[in-house]
Amino acid sequence: MNEVLNSIYTRRSIRKFTDEAVSKEFIDEVVKAGTHAPSGKNMQTFRFFIMQNADSILALQEVVGKGMENPSYTFYGAKAMIIVTCNKEDVNGVEDGSCALENMMLAAHSLGLGSCWINQLKYCGDKPEVAAYLDQIGLPEGRRVVGMLALGHAAEEGTAHPRKEGLVTYLD
């Protein structure tokens, strides 16, 4: 099996990370893979904001937890968080950013890293207190959060989920 297919079939969402930091070289590579995702009309609407500082990650986790009214909210101990945004006016922004997130998950896996898409900032990012925090840390005005990627060295294998029946239909 070729490497791309192998990566696709063996990637898992990882929700437990070791204490080992992720090297800048690996983060750069993962983000680069994100920037190489396809995009509608090649508009490259995705923007990537990378957080590596442990205190900053915990602070963001707390803000999102409050925004979601979930005191036990967690980023699973990720060693880096990558926030993917587009502009609210970008017609294909969510699709472009989603392609970027998938590219990054596969790239991370191919480098031996674990990752997990984290969604909640998408839901609470426009709440005034959360939005104010995102302004403060430097996310641009007019943004739409597509999703976040938790990144680290996997402390567990992840679960293989069998595919559901009836996902695929060949038409005449």
Ligand X SMILES: Cc1cc2nc3c(=O)[nH]c(=O)nc-3n(C[C@H](O)[C@H](O)[C@H](O)COP(=O)(O)O)c2cc1C
- Is the Cβ–Cβ distance between 36 and 96 less than 8 Å? no
Would you say 31 or 118 has its CB closer to ligand X? 118
Task: Identify which range of 1-9, 63-71, 112-120, 136-144 contacts ligand X by CB under 6 A.
Answer: 112-120
Name, in order, each residue with C-beta under 8 angstroms of 164's C-beta and a sequence gap of 6 or more. Answer: none
Which of 115, 94, 112 lies closest to 104 in space, CA to CA?
115
Does position 13 bind ligand X by CB under 6 A?
Answer: yes
Does position 70 bind ligand X by CB under 6 A?
Answer: no
- Exactly one of 27, 30, 63, 118 binds ligand X (CB under 6 A); that residue is 118
- Exactly one of 161, 164, 166, 169 binds ligand X (CB under 6 A); that residue is 161
Q: Total residues at the site for ligand X (CB under 6 A)?
A: 10
Strands (E), the chain: 47-51, 80-87, 114-118, 143-152
Say how far apart CA 85 and CA 99 lie, in whole Å: 12
Rounded to a whole number of angstroms, the minimum distance from the CB of residue 160 to ligand X is 7
- Exactly one of 40, 65, 77, 158 binds ligand X (CB under 6 A); that residue is 158
**62: which 2 tokens?**
């707390």
Which of 65, 51, 74, 47 lies closest to 130 in space, CA to CA?
65
Does position 117 bind ligand X by CB under 6 A?
Answer: yes
Residues contributing to the site for ligand X (CB under 6 A): 12-13, 15, 116-120, 158, 161
